[in-house]
Structure 1
Amino acid sequence: MLYLDDMQVGTKRSFGRYEVTREEVLDFARKYDPQPFHLSDEGAASTHFGRLAASGWHTCAMTMSMFVAEMGVNPQASLGAAGVDELRWLKPVYPGDVLRCESEILEVKPSRSRPEMGSMRTQTTTYNQHDEPVLRFIALALMRRKPAEG
């Protein structure tokens, strides 16, 4: 189990593999972001997307799926997150793309008022199969500190 105390600024890691399917893009769009360019090639043809593109929110959800899978392999003492800053959709994601993630720890900060926990800022970038960044954000994660030995 990795605790806040184990985290070091500058640490980088690569993880995840997510194959984007047409069916999933359409299903997500119908439920959560029913704009024409997320619903059909015809609806996207006259836009800068040119063809059916995944919702940026769907790209966030796929990134989160990869992150949670990574936490299953390398468990962390996570307490959730306090938010996301600087979210940017850098390039469209299309059916057939294969995504992966890279993250870097930017800041580790023990809580002054709650000594059993603290926060960590990480920048995560999601890439497609051409190593082109498609999504970038900074997350503020909350984590438990190592239990006192006793």
Structure 2
Amino acid sequence: MPARYLEDLSVGETWEGGPIPIAEDAVIAFAKAYDPQPMHVDPVAAAQGRFGGIIASGWHVAALVMRDYVESSPFGDTPLLGLQLDGLRWEEAVRPGDVLQARREILEVTRSRSKPDRGLVRIGVTVTNQHGRTVMRYTNLVQIFARPDAEAGC
């Protein structure tokens, strides 16, 4: 995809990434390294717990969604800088065998007054499983450059 800049973006624009398959060995490996709770790493303990089996760490899901975002490159090779993440919610357990889909929507586009060569884009992210149920959502604020030859005013 060609580079996209602040002026190329509009509120209401949406795109989807994925699919993001969830593999049990990856769930366990991530959790052993970063979130070693029994429901993420121990199939026997997880089967006896409140989820009835292994579930993915929410941080693993978030990392997979971030990778999907980078790989789908909705802004081409335009450099982005993540500034803020709000309202992160894990709404349903993610299990091995699930296939996730991330949908992103531009909620706000604002040119910086102090640095008119860039601006802010607020993006709503909703992640669903193969049954269409929301498993995670959040709002992300990113900084993106304006077109190098653009006039100020977005």
Could you state the TM-score of these two structures normalised by the residue count of structure 2? 0.90
Count of equivalent residues: 148
Indicate if the aligned counterparts of 1:118 and 1:143 stay in contact, CA closer than 8 A.
yes
- Other structure's SS at 1:105 match: strand
Return the match for 2:11 from 3, 9, 12: 9
Return the match for 2:69 from 62, 67, 70: 67
- Other structure's SS at 2:18 match: strand
Return 5+ residue gaps in structure 2 as ranges: none
Percent same amino acid among aligned pairs? 39
1:137 maps onto 2:138 in alignment: yes
Which string of whole-angstrom CA distances, capped at 9 and with x for unpartnered residues, describes residues 112-141 of structure 1?
111111110000111111111111000001
1:116 maps onto 2:117 in alignment: yes
| Structure 1 outlier segments of 4+, above 6 Å | none
Which string of whole-angstrom CA distances, capped at 9 and with x for unpartnered residues, describes residues 2-29 of structure 1?
1111111111112211111111001000
Deviation at 1:44, TM superposition (A): 1.9
Distance of 1:43 and 1:136 partners within structure 2 = 28
Indicate if the aligned counterparts of 2:24 and 2:97 stay in contact, CA closer than 8 A.
yes
- Tell me what 1:35 maps to: 37
Return 5+ residue gaps in structure 1 as ranges: none
Return the match for 1:48 from 50, 53, 56: 50
Deviation at 1:74, TM superposition (A): 5.2
Could you state the TM-score of these two structures normalised by the residue count of structure 1? 0.93
